[in-house]
Amino acid sequence: MAKKEKQSEFHNLVKNKKLPILTLDNRWHEIFTEDEKTQSIKQLEQQVNDLLKRQGKLVNDIKDMKKLKNNLIKEIMANMDISKNEAGREKDKKLSKNKQFITELNEKLEQAMDELGDLPYQIKEVNEALMAESVTLFYERLEQNKAELKEVADWINTIREELKHKILLKQDLEVNNTQIYTYMHDVLGAELMELFDKEYHVKK
């Protein structure tokens, strides 16, 4: 199956599954080093992060707009009594501006609330695509790791056999050296052996 088809199939499988936001998931980050991420993973990761930032900004913008709207309403309520003099006409102008501003704020608020309402679905969609892409890469890595594990296991078994052989050889050589030295010591005696040891730099 082609890679794109696999990703599409994985995307359908993970759809509507309750997933963590991958870019906020420490375990997801631990699995990938930056150079192991494909271009596609990096792009999807960036999209998720951008959508999360946009969501955070909209939440703050809506809060600020609501606060401003409340202040404008309070100002309108406090200045309802308009006299017919110059000061009154100025107040009336300001009230009209404030009302116009509130109308504009209401439109902006509505747009922001609509966009904020859509964002969780957009985040979910891109996050699922990121998971599908990640799963494809995870399985590739699992296969590579399996192949490498087999190589390492084979190497360990070979070394283990070599090690057994070397240990037996070491024991044989040690026994042989002991036999040779004991024989010479018995035949030649300690005094002569002392001279030979010095000549051949034998350390006891």
* pLDDT tens for each residue of 40-72: 999 999 999 999 999 999 999 999 999 999 988
Among the listed residues 124, 122, 143, 142, the one whose alpha carbon sits nearest the alpha carbon of residue 132: 124
Cβ atoms of 51 and 129 within 8 Å: the answer is no
66-80: burial string, b at 16+ Cβ within 10 Å, e else: eeebeebeeeeeeee
pLDDT of residue 190: 84
Convert the pLDDT of each residue in 130-167 to its tens digit.
998 898 888 888 999 999 999 999 999 999 999 999 99
Residue 199 pLDDT greater than 80, yes or no: no
pLDDT of residue 47: 98
Residues whose CB is less than 8 angstroms from the CB of residue 83 and which lie 6 or more positions away in sequence, other chains included: 91
The two three-digit tokens of residue 60, written as one number: 């703050």
Task: Find the mean pLDDT for residues 79-94.
Answer: 65
Q: Please give the residue that has the higher pLDDT: either 1 or 77.
A: 77
Query: How large is the C-alpha radius of gyration of the chain?
Result: 40
Q: Please give the residue that has the higher pLDDT: either 32 or 116.
A: 116
Cβ atoms of 42 and 126 within 8 Å: the answer is no
pLDDT of residue 57: 97
Q: How far apart are CA 70 and CA 57, in angstroms?
A: 20
User: What is the 8-class DSSP label of residue 200?
Assistant: T
pLDDT of residue 82: 60
pLDDT of residue 194: 84
